A and B are shown apart, each in its own frame.
Chain A
Amino acid sequence: MKTTTINFIGNRHIALIFSGLLSLASIISLATQGLHMGIDFTGGTLIEVGYQQPADLNALRLKLDTEGFEDATVQNFGTAKDVLIRLKLQDGVSSADLSTKVLDTINKDVAQPASLRRVEFVGPQVGDDLAEDGFLALLYSSLAILVYIAWRFEWKFSLGAIIATFHDVIVTLGLFSILGLEFDLTVLAAVLALIGYSLNDTIVVYDRIRENFRALRDISTEEIMNISVNVTLSRTIMTSLTVLLVLVSLFFLGGQTIHNFSLVLLFGVFFGTYSSIFIASPAALMLGISPADLMIPVKDNSDIAHLP
């Protein structure tokens, strides 16, 4: 692959408008529709059962309805033989016994009873804790990165990286919100992994900009950024492709439980790659980064020269 000479920075407005609109749509969806939170965060009960034959969902719904589980949602999970039953926290029913009762209910008077594949019960207090821990994880990882990049590079890069990363997170979450996909603990883990990945990508570009700031003189900041993004382009795309390859494999073969996890990363790697090419450098540029910020300080007495 020959090194490209695409004018990414010069045409940054196109990308910025595109990303701005995308982020806006995501934020609107997140604000109005919100995320479809899984029971990890809301509390509740989830029961997965397996049948020998494709299950009759309507019969199951009716059965649960008549036994007093009106708010149970019943749907297929992965295949027609697998059924997922969700229950909210129930009024007046001891929550820990709920799964047993539901299983007894659906297996009453049936020739081929369902086999229990999975039960998840999360109490309200645990759900709140998990949500809080998740939020703290997002906060602390952002802070840690902010400090690390500010130390290794410079605060404008640091802020630029955070902007690019937040862009990826918001757009990915926005897509999840628009598509109404369930957001649970593993999805949250995927979002954090995506933060790591997106930063990794951005840092590689920044690293080259830093190097070129020091190596190339008499060239505009914009030009240096363009060169840096272009020379790292093949690497950025190659790495994204290898990661996308394993994620596609995980998405199609990893089973239903890991579906949303791989989906977040698929979205995230796509946007992470996009943002490290189109967003990260313009963001730093607009924050006013210049080669002077990264010059290796020359030891002289200039800092005291102005003193009387």
Chain B
Amino acid sequence: MQNHYSLWKNISIILVFLISIIYSLPNLYGDDPSVQVSHIVNKLTQAQASDIESTIKNTGTPLKTFQFKDGRVLARLTNTDDQMKIADLLRDKMGNNYTVALNLAPTTPSWLQAIGAQAMYLGLDLRGGVHFLLEVDIDAAVKQAEERYNDDLRLALREAKIHYQNVSKDNGFIKVILKDTNDKAELLALLGKDFRGLTVTEPEAAEQVWLKISEADSREIKKSAVAQNMTTLRNRVNELGVAEPVIQQQGVNRIMVQLPGVQDTSRAKEILGTTATLEYRLVDTEHDVQQAVSGHPPIGSRLYYEKNGNPILLDKRIIITGDQIVDSASSSDDDGRPSVSISLNGIGASKMGKLTQVSIGKPMAVVFIEYKNETRIVNGEKVRHKEKVEKVISVATIQGVFSKRFQTTGLDSPQEARNLSLLLRAGALAAPVDIVEERTVGPSLGQDNIDKGMMSFLVGFALVVFFMAAYYKVFGLIANAALAFNVVIVVAILSMLQATLTLPGIAGIILTVGMSVDANVLIFERIKEEINNGNTPQSSIFSGYDKAFATILDSHFTNLVVAVVLFAFGTGSVKGFAVTLIIGILSSMFTAITGTRMIINWIYGNKLVEKLSI
């Protein structure tokens, strides 16, 4: 029997088609402008949810649905003006510990949601929003670690009663000069026990030991600096109230942050880019500040300035840095003064405990450190310039021994306490970051891009369909059916993968429309040739498909290779283009070969055919 597909083959093709239709359906439903409310840590209670619901209803704003699920509230509204109004209202009402985010909630019916069918994920160029690429200064993280090692080492030497003449950083080394060469064995034992991250070099001078952060340790420091920055950025983004943020590591030291729907880029930059970190240091009360101001700071101390401009001397040794803070909250102390309560991690707690034991009644300072990055062009060369701004934001007296949890008082206002706690809670960045790429798309342009993409798709599709039908007649119509089938499959796969659809991605789909008829053109031309060679219509169909197959395979495969390379090296919207191209090439081979063959078999198979409409 020629030109006949078995039942199972027909059924599986139709099944693929039906599944594709179902999974591409969600794209036909729109979105509701909505407001989402959640608590930063906890879940909302039913009582709070009801309270929010009545707040919205009291304003008289039409509310489509109100949903309370998984401790979060989702209020669907009818338009974006209402959305903004309600979001502002709820932000004021809920306060700092709640996240009120604008969202576009899909209106996909629940039966589709139940089988996991979702609309395509739109890229920022289609939905509007901000894309940042942040570069983490990992070398600064290593330098910070070096400083920490330097301080820890002095402390350890003093505790172990190993007398040293000097411990100092020099050219990437920490150089220890002992008072007595006989202590060297003890020192080496200590290093082997507590400082495994350091590689030991013994120079010719017998009383010296040079230490360097080992390759492995340095890698680890860099890795954890990036990881920690990701966590911090995630926390800060949550504070911003963005519905579906994307935070991803890119390469060794870059972090991509995408904030859909965010328009206020300067605020976003401010919050994300605050490359600030905190340090706690003891205040040096023994030396004269004025002498330091005039240019003679005492050894072991450094001159800082308070917010009001007053000079202050601080101990060079850092007690703890901001990355050792695990939680913080604004509160007030027993006398009602604004304060920030802080929780430290284990290492930080033990350091703080040891220090406060011996320092009750002494003042301790919180130093706020900010790195400002600038790219300047000097003599045609691009030079990155980094400025470190340090200021003392609060000085408070140590009231008693504490370690893991304590309060910092001495803040000017409850507002300041709230800001500080927010910054601490979100976590300080482990290493400074620099915005190296920014792409912002306004909401009007996003919608424009969708409309224009849709329009050129429809027109392009119509032109191809018309052309194919006019040239290949019935066979052309069959190819058109396969073409439509192909588009449905591409959309369904993009939706299932939740791959990002970008404007170049839409262009990729449009290009696929033009290119995917290629397989059919190859087959049809081959069939025509066979007929011209005097073969019967049935055998012409058979050998046309048969002979064109190898050609289609080879030509499409080379095309696919290029698309895969494009995917591997492309970034952002270009990747979106490559994805649609890859899916389009693969699915067009299926629809153009198998799909059209099925229909042609239905029409012409198993019967006497005199002439083909081709």
Question: Which residues of A are interface residues toward B (Cβ below 8 A)?
Answer: 1, 3, 43, 48, 50, 89-97, 99-100, 115-126, 130, 133-134, 136-137, 140-141, 144-145, 148-149, 152, 185-186, 188-189, 192-193, 195-197, 199-201, 203-204, 207-208, 211, 231-232, 234-235, 238-239, 241-250, 252-255, 257-258, 261-262, 265
Chain B residues whose CB sits within 8 angstroms of the CB of A152 once the complex forms: 554
- Contact flags (1/0) for B555-566 with A, using CB distance below 8 Å? 111111111011
Cβ of A92 and Cβ of B374 under 8 Å apart? yes
- A184 to B442 CA separation, bound complex (whole angstroms): 20
Separation in Å of the B215 CB from the closest CB of chain A?
A: 24
For A269, the closest partner residue in chain B by CB is: B514
Cβ of A148 and Cβ of B444 under 8 Å apart? no
Assuming the contacts A140-B569, A250-B510, asked whether A255 and B449 have C-beta atoms less than 8 A apart, the reply is: yes
Find A149's partner among B513, B522, B558 (CB 8 Å cutoff).
B558
Chain A residues whose CB sits within 8 angstroms of the CB of B532 once the complex forms: 3
Give the residues from 405 to 443 in chain B that come closer than 8 angstroms, CB to CB, to chain A: 434-442
- A92 to B455 CA separation, bound complex (whole angstroms): 44
Check if B280 is an interface residue, CB within 8 A of chain A.
Answer: no
Assuming the contacts A137-B570, A204-B522, A246-B463, asked whether A144 and B436 have C-beta atoms less than 8 A apart, the reply is: no
Chain A residues whose CB sits within 8 angstroms of the CB of B504 once the complex forms: 186, 189, 258, 261
Assuming the contacts A120-B438, A121-B438, A125-B135, asked whether A207 and B551 have C-beta atoms less than 8 A apart, the reply is: yes
Cβ of A137 and Cβ of B374 under 8 Å apart? no
Separation in Å of the A214 CB from the closest CB of chain B?
A: 12
Assuming the contacts A125-B436, A196-B558, asked whether A242 and B570 have C-beta atoms less than 8 A apart, the reply is: no
Chain A residues whose CB sits within 8 angstroms of the CB of B574 once the complex forms: 185-186, 188-189
Check if B88 is an interface residue, CB within 8 A of chain A.
Answer: no
Cβ of B551 and Cβ of A208 under 8 Å apart? yes
Chain B residues whose CB sits within 8 angstroms of the CB of A125 once the complex forms: 135, 436
Chain A residues whose CB sits within 8 angstroms of the CB of B273 once the complex forms: 96
Cβ of A207 and Cβ of B438 under 8 Å apart? no
- A272 to B27 CA separation, bound complex (whole angstroms): 35
Separation in Å of the A46 CB from the closest CB of chain B?
A: 9
* Count, chain B residues at interface, CB 8 A: 82
Cβ of A207 and Cβ of B565 under 8 Å apart? no
Cβ of A117 and Cβ of B444 under 8 Å apart? yes
Cβ of A239 and Cβ of B517 under 8 Å apart? yes
Assuming the contacts A115-B442, A203-B558, asked whether A189 and B578 have C-beta atoms less than 8 A apart, the reply is: yes
For A208, the closest partner residue in chain B by CB is: B551
Which stretch, B143-151, B192-200, B375-383, touches the partner chain A? B375-383
Cβ of B382 and Cβ of A249 under 8 Å apart? no
Chain B residues whose CB sits within 8 angstroms of the CB of A249 once the complex forms: 456-457, 459-460, 463, 510
- Contact flags (1/0) for B444-455 with A, using CB distance below 8 Å? 110011001101
Chain B residues whose CB sits within 8 angstroms of the CB of A115 once the complex forms: 442, 444
Chain A residues whose CB sits within 8 angstroms of the CB of B269 once the complex forms: 96-97, 100
Check if B352 is an interface residue, CB within 8 A of chain A.
Answer: no
Known pairs A193-B566, A200-B558, A258-B452 / 5 extra A-B pairs, C-beta < 8 Å: A145-B561, A203-B555, A244-B514, A247-B511, A253-B459
Find A126's partner among B436, B510, B517, B555 (CB 8 Å cutoff).
B436
Check if B464 is an interface residue, CB within 8 A of chain A.
Answer: yes
- A96 to B463 CA separation, bound complex (whole angstroms): 45
Cβ of A89 and Cβ of B513 under 8 Å apart? no
For A1, the closest partner residue in chain B by CB is: B528
Cβ of A93 and Cβ of B374 under 8 Å apart? yes
For A241, the closest partner residue in chain B by CB is: B467
Cβ of A189 and Cβ of B374 under 8 Å apart? no
Separation in Å of the B28 CB from the closest CB of chain A?
A: 21
Cβ of B440 and Cβ of A99 under 8 Å apart? yes
- A261 to B449 CA separation, bound complex (whole angstroms): 14
Cβ of A193 and Cβ of B511 under 8 Å apart? yes
Find B561's partner among A3, A48, A96, A148 (CB 8 Å cutoff).
A148
Check if B515 is an interface residue, CB within 8 A of chain A.
Answer: yes
Cβ of A117 and Cβ of B445 under 8 Å apart? yes
- Contact flags (1/0) for B484-518 with A, using CB distance below 8 Å? 00000000000000000001100100110111011
Separation in Å of the B512 CB from the closest CB of chain A?
A: 9
Chain A residues whose CB sits within 8 angstroms of the CB of B547 once the complex forms: 211
14 sampled A-B residue pairs with Cβ under 8 A = A91-B376, A116-B440, A117-B444, A121-B439, A145-B562, A186-B574, A188-B574, A189-B570, A193-B511, A193-B563, A199-B558, A241-B467, A253-B456, A254-B510
Of listed B372, B554, B562, B577, residue having the most chain A CB within 10 A: B562
- A149 to B569 CA separation, bound complex (whole angstroms): 22
For B556, the closest partner residue in chain A by CB is: A200
Chain A residues whose CB sits within 8 angstroms of the CB of B456 once the complex forms: 249-250, 252-254
Cβ of A238 and Cβ of B521 under 8 Å apart? yes
